[in-house]
Amino acid sequence: MEQSLYLMLDSKGTPIARGRVQGGTGGQYWQIQVEDGKIDEILEHKKLKLLSVMDTGPSYEGVIVRSRNDMIQLEVTRINADAHDMRKNLRVVVHFNSFIYPLGAKWAGRRQVESNDLSAGGIAFFTDHSLQVGAVSYTHLRAHLQVGEQVEVVIPVTAQPLVVRCQILRMRPTERASYVLYAAKFLELCNDEETMLREAVFNLQLRGRPRAAGPGA
């Protein structure tokens, strides 16, 4: 019997549970065993979106027809053939300490960062705009990362820590003295890396709370 694991989202695209489809996905009516979620909370939503956890297949939309114990029956009303952007843009607020490394930049060494949110397509993080060279901090240089600059960032919340290349998209000052918030997109991800990032985002979304991890956590 075919069993497919799906992330279950509400109509706004917020993950609320995971479910395993029993008996295949070829028909209009799906039998879904709920995992990693509460059936009562799922039944508060008449309409659901389903997104495969593992593959790059389509996403589905449907209406809950009935439920029994931890099983629900869903009438599939729409199939979205290309769900790549939906997977890539699913974002979770998560706080962990990590590091970035320069790629052809004018600064050397590594810089400590604190994440603000994470998706399979990018990351937002805080960092001090002082320049760190070895053990010496040159706060007076005000060495901002530049929009368009590329760095490597360590992601410690995946099944195995990843070091991925990213490009700074935008920046803005914060209320935290010398700290700046940067938004960056990931570059040149292989399929395994994107899958690991997506699974980490799914798991963190379902837990519904920030997770601390990484150096200094």
Question: What are the pLDDT digits (tens) for 15-44?
Answer: 888 889 988 778 899 999 998 778 888 999
Give the chain's radius of gyration (CA, Å): 20
Domain chopping of the chain, boundaries: 3-88, 91-207
Residue 168: which residues within 8 A CB-CB, separation 6 or more? 145, 146, 147, 148, 149, 150, 151, 182, 183, 184
* Domain over 3-88 is classified CATH 2.40.10: yes
Cross-strand partners of 33: 20, 71
The confidence score (pLDDT) of residue 212 equals 39
The confidence score (pLDDT) of residue 208 equals 62
- Which pLDDT tens digit goes with each residue over 97-153? 999 999 976 777 888 999 999 998 999 999 887 544 444 444 443 467 889 999 999
Could you tell me which of 73, 98, 95 has the C-alpha nearest to residue 22? Answer: 73
Q: Which architecture does CATH list for 91-207?
A: Beta Barrel (2.40)
